[in-house]
Amino acid sequence: MIAIIDYGMGNLASVKNAFLKLGYKTFISSKPDDILSADRVVLPGVGAFGDAINSLQDTGLDRTIYRIVKESKPLLGVCLGLQLLFTESEENGVHKGLDIIQGRVIKFKLPSFYKVPHMGWNEVKPDPGSQLFKNILPGSYFYFVHSYYVVPEDNSFAAAVSDYGLDFICAVEKDNLFATQFHPEKSGSIGLEVLKNFAEI
């Protein structure tokens, strides 16, 4: 059973429908006990970092996420859900994140011919040992919508990189934590393969 955390800032239905299409039992919830009862958990996210972290703290769902990590339950962050796992973000001022992965979230500072936000399909180069990208060929394309990217203190957590004016880490794996900057639920059959890999970890 896969739980999708509802903290008011996620593209919940599309993530749920993607797992259902793959045949996995999935539910959306904002109730800690329900979320903790699941075998795997997804932290989605669309919107501003500060609003999202405030929502998690106001609802107490930040404590639920810490408990998931402590219990070594597989957790998948998607887009903003990836960024929230980090120490802090510079989006609209400095905001403290969950600090589960040490590092920062910074804005693209690129020549003017690069549009920000970075939006659309982009090539992803996975690490050969990545569990999320099992059976996915290097050079596959995934769908992105973001203005900020993560910079971990320890690059060994990088599961994949992409290039948009600079090389940036677009997926991480650390123990039971998995997260992507791109939207696998919006990335067609190749994105579904990533979700399938997570569901089978």
Q: Considering the candidates 79, 88, 173, 193, report the single residue annotated as catalytic.
A: 79
DSSP the chain: -EEEE-SS-S-HHHHHHHHHHTT--EEEE--HHHHHHSSEEEE---S-HHHHHHHHHHHTHHHHHHHHHHTT--EEEETHHHHTTEEEE-TTS-EE---SEEEEEEE----TTS-SSEEEEEEEEE-TT-STTTT--TTEEEEEEESEEEEES-GGGEEEEEESSSEEEEEEEETTEEEESS-GGGSHHHHHHHHHHHHT-
Does the annotation count 183 as an active-site position? yes
Does the annotation count 185 as an active-site position? yes
Q: Considering the candidates 170, 185, 193, 200, report the single residue annotated as catalytic.
A: 185
Q: Considering the candidates 95, 118, 146, 183, report the single residue annotated as catalytic.
A: 183
Does the annotation count 95 as an active-site position? no
Catalytic residues: 79, 183, 185
